[in-house]
Chain A
C-alpha cells in the first residue's frame, strides 16, 4: 500500500521545475512516506490494541502499590507523615497515571506529530527555568542540596525532567523520521543539529539541575532512536567515541571531576557508599523468597529513598530473589513487546516513538537495578511504574499510552521484509 502513495507523491514532486527549491520540495514530498495526501500521519489498518501491555503495566504498578503498602508504617515511623500516606498518594498517582494512559491512547497519533516539537520545547523551557527561578528563590520551586528539580504545585510536586524525556522522545522521533525519509539521516548536518539540541538539553539537566540520571536516560533514549532510525554503525561508533571523548575532556579540564571519578572507582562518596551498602544488605537479606510483606526492616530508615529510588532493594528484601526475578521478567516482557512492534510498524515516525519509549523505560530499569546491585554508579533514578512519584508515573504512563495507541496499527506481517525493499526503493528513488 505505501508504495502506491509513494509513487504518486514522487510523480507529483517530479513535476516541480525549479532546481533551487529542490531540497525543500524534496522534504515535503519525501514526507509522503510518512504522511498521507491530506498531510496526516500514514497509518495502517486499525485493529484491537495490545492489551498485554496493559496487563503488564498494571501488574508492575500493582507491585509498586503493594510495596508501598507494606512499608507504609516504616516510612510513617521515620517521618511526621501520617500512616500510609505514601500508599494513598501512590494510589492516586496510579489512578491519574491510568487515566492519562487511556486518554493518551485515544489521542490521534497525528497530534503528537504536529505538536511533538512544541511539547519538547515547553518541557525544555520548564527545565531551563527551574534553576533560574530557584536562584531567585521563587516559592514555586523546590530545591534540595543546591539542585532545583521540582515545581511545587501544592497538591504534588512536578518534575519537568520527566516531561522532558517524553518531549525528547516525540521531538527526536519527528526529526529523525523526516531526515530518514529524506535519506539525510547519515548526513553530518542531521547529527550536528540533533547533537546541538541534545547537548543543550543535557546541559540543562546535568549541569543546571545536577541530575545525572535523567541525563543518561535522555542520552540513552536518543541513542536507541538513532539505532532504530538506521544510523550507520560507523556513525554510531563515532557518536559514542565523541561522547566518551567529551567526557574525558571535561574530566581532564576540571581536576575536581577527576577526583570524583577516582572516588567512584574507589567506591564512591561516603553517602553513596552507605546507600549502596544498605541496598545490598536489603537484597542479600531477602534470600529466595524474602522476609515477607510488611517485614522489611531496611525500610525503617536504614535504606535511603526506600519508596523512591531504592524500592527495588526493598522488594528484594520483601519478596526475595523469586519476586525480583518475576519483576525483571515482567519488565523484560514489557520491553520486548514494545521493541517488537518496531518490526510490525510501517511508519518510521511511530517506529522511532516505540524505540524512544523502549529506551526510556530500559534506561530507567537498567540504571536503577544496576545501581541497587552495585554494577552501575548510583545516579538517583526511579524504577518506572513501581517507584513512588507522581511525575514519573504520569509521563511514563503517557509514553506507554502512545505505545498502546501505536499498537492499534501494527501489521500482520513483519514490516522488515517489505521494509527492506521499501527502504531500498526509497533510497534509490530519492537519490535519483
Chain B
C-alpha cells in the first residue's frame, strides 16, 4: 500500500495533465478549427445594422414675389407600441394609452395587450412629444416609443390632390408625393457597428460602416399660393352656384406651361387622408381623368385649318343648321343663325358644329376623306400633342383616347364629332397645354408643376427650366389671329351676354353630353361644361390661361357657358388684378 505512495503523486500529475491535454485539444478545436464558424456567429450576433432614416423633403410653393411658403413640413412624432410578452400590468398600460393618447389609438389593438404570444403591437401613432414624455414618466414595463416622422400641412387642404399624401409606411401616395417619391424620400443611411448586448454601438469594431442618410430634396412647386387659394375658393363658389359638386380648374402660365394653380373638388385634408372613403377624391382630376371637352376643341379645329391654309381668318361658310354624315345627323345648338353665311369668328362665337365639320371637309378638299382625317389627326397629335401623356409631375396621368384616321369603323362620323370635341377623350392638362401653345405664338412647352428642388439647407439643386418640345404648333401669325378671334368671340358671345370690359381676354366654352353610365348612350341631362380662355396684356402677350370644368351642373342653359364660364370670369378678373395687367 505504501509502495504506491510515490506513484500516487505521479498518478495525480498524469491525471491532471491528461485532463489539461483534453482542454487544450478542445480549445484548439474551438479556437482554431471552428474559428471561422464562431467568428461568423459572433459577427451575426454582435453586429447591428441600423438604417438611418433620411428626412423627407418638404414641399413649398411661392407667390408672385418669389416668397416661399411651405405646404408640407415634417414633424417628429412617436409611435406607442407594446410588447405584450413583457407587459406586466396590461390594465395599467390600457389606462395609460387611453388617458394620454386616446385620440390616436389604433382600433382593437388594446385588446391584444393580454395576448402574451405577441411581441409587437402598435397602440397609437402620431403621439406628440408632450404625450410621449408623459408615457415615459409613467415608466410601465413592456411599453415603448418609436421615433417617427409625420407630414404637417400648414395650409390645410390647399392643393391637396396636387400634393398627395404620405401613408403610414412613409410612402408617397398620389400627386407629387408619389411622382417624386424617390427625390423626396432621400437615401437611407446605414450604420453597421459592433454593439454591446443592449445594442449600443461600440467603438472597437474593425469593420464598422457609417453612411449618413441623404435627406430628401425639397420641392418647390410652380403653384402660386395666392392663385391656388383663389382658385379653390372661386371654384367652390361656382360649383355651388351651378348646383354641382364636382369640378376642376387649372391656371397656367401660357408662356412656359407652368401650372400656377390646379384644383379639384371635392377635395380632402391630407392630414386626415385615412378618413377619406372615396379614393377618387385623392385624384388631381385635371391630370388623371380624360373626358370629352366638347366645343372648346373648335378653336383647335379653326386654328389647324388656318395653319394648314385650307381656310383663312376671313373665310366664310354656309351654315345649314344640320349636316348629314353617313348615318349621323349633326346639328347646331344655336339655331337662330341657320341658313346664314358665317365667319370663322362667328363659328367660334355661336359654337357652330356645322362650321367645325366644314373646316374638316376643307382639309380634304371638300369632304371628310382619309386625307382630311390624316391632316386633322396630325394637328391633334403632333402639333397640339394631345395624344400620349404630357409628363407632368403628378402620378396617375391618364392617356387620351384618340382614334386613328384609318380606323374602319365610322371614321367619318367620329372625325366629324372630334372637330367639336366629342368622340375623343382628353385631360385638362393636355388641352390647356395645347391651348397655351395655340395662343402664345405656337410654342408648345411641356406642362409642369415643378419649379425646382433644393437640398435640406435650401440650396438650389435643380431649376426646372421650361421645356420647349414643339415649335410652330401654329404659325405665329395664325396663333395671333386665333387669339384675336377668341377675344372677339368671347366678347360678342352666343347669347350676347358677355360684356367687353376692355381687357384682352379671350375664351371658348364647351358642353359635352356625357355617356350615361346606365344606358351607355349620350345622356340628355348629364353634361360636362368646360371653359378655356386666356388673358393678355395690352400688347397681346398672353399672361395666363385658365381652364374650368364643371360636371353635372344643374343650371339653366348650357353648362359650358352657364356653369364653367362664370367661374372663368371671376378667376380671370382676379388674375388681371393679381398680375397687374392693364387695359
Contacts and interface: CB of A to CB of B under 8 A. Distances in A.
Contacts of B42: 281-282, 284-285, 297-298
A283 B23 CA distance: 12
B23 A336 contact: no
B16 A78 contact: no
Interface string A249-284: 000000000000000000000000000000011111
B202 interface: yes
B92 interface: no
B194 to A, nearest CB: 5
Contact of A281 (B2, B8, B19, B45): B45
Contacts of A414: 6
A321 interface: yes
Interface string B183-206: 000000000001111101010110
B318 interface: no
A322 to B, nearest CB: 9
A301 B198 contact: yes
A356 to B, nearest CB: 12
B1 A230 contact: yes
Contact of A285 (B13, B28, B39, B205): B39
Given A283-B30, A297-B204, A228 B9 contact: yes
A62 interface: no
Contacts of B37: 284
A370 interface: yes
B26 interface: yes
Contact of A302 (B17, B22, B45): B45
B31 A339 contact: no
Contacts of A417: 6
B20 A332 contact: yes
A223 to B, nearest CB: 10
A300 B202 contact: yes
Nearest to B202: A300
Interface stretch (A85-93, A120-128, A239-247, A418-426): A418-426
Interface string A358-387: 100010011001100101000000000000
Contacts of B26: 373, 375
B13 A297 contact: no
A299 to B, nearest CB: 9
Tell which of A228, A285, A419 has the most Cβ of chain B within 10 Å: A285
A233 to B, nearest CB: 8
A424 B6 CA distance: 13
B11 interface: yes
A427 B2 contact: yes
B197 A300 contact: yes
A56 to B, nearest CB: 15
B41 interface: yes
Interface in B1-60: 1-6, 8-9, 11-13, 16-17, 19-20, 22-24, 26-28, 30-32, 34-35, 37-39, 41-42, 45-46
A328 B39 CA distance: 23
- The 5 nearest A-B residue pairs measured at CB: A284-B38, A301-B197, A423-B2, A416-B6, A300-B196
A297 B23 contact: no
Contacts of B35: 284-288
Q: Chain B interface: which size bin?
A: 35 or more
A181 B197 CA distance: 58
28 contacts: A74-B196, A227-B8, A228-B5, A280-B30, A280-B38, A281-B41, A284-B31, A285-B39, A285-B42, A294-B204, A297-B194, A298-B46, A300-B196, A301-B198, A302-B197, A324-B27, A328-B20, A355-B9, A355-B12, A365-B20, A366-B16, A366-B19, A373-B26, A416-B5, A417-B6, A420-B5, A423-B1, A423-B5
A316 B1 contact: no
A68 interface: no
Contacts of A285: 35, 38-39, 41-42
A287 B39 contact: yes
Tell which of B23, B194, B202 has the most Cβ of chain A within 10 Å: B23
Interface residues of A, number: 57
Contacts of B202: 297, 300
Interface in A320-349: 320-321, 324-325, 328, 331-332, 335-336, 339-340, 342-343
A36 interface: no
Given A301-B197, A324-B31, A336 B5 contact: no
A287 B27 CA distance: 10
Main SS of the interface on chain A? helix
A340 B13 contact: yes
A336 B27 contact: no
Contacts of A370: 19, 23
Contacts of B19: 366, 370
A224 B15 CA distance: 11
Given A301-B196, A302-B45, A343-B9, A373 B23 contact: yes
Contacts of B30: 280, 283-284, 373
A427 B13 CA distance: 27
A340 B9 contact: yes
B13 A424 contact: no
Contacts of A230: 1-2, 4-5, 8
Contacts of A74: 196
A187 interface: no
A420 B1 contact: no
Contacts of B197: 78, 300-302
A9 interface: no
A14 interface: no
A77 interface: yes
Contacts of A294: 204
Nearest to A180: B2
A313 B537 CA distance: 86
B267 to A, nearest CB: 54
A295 interface: yes
Contacts of A316: 27, 31
Contacts of A281: 38, 41-42, 45
Given A297-B46, A302-B45, A369-B23, A284 B34 contact: yes
A232 interface: yes
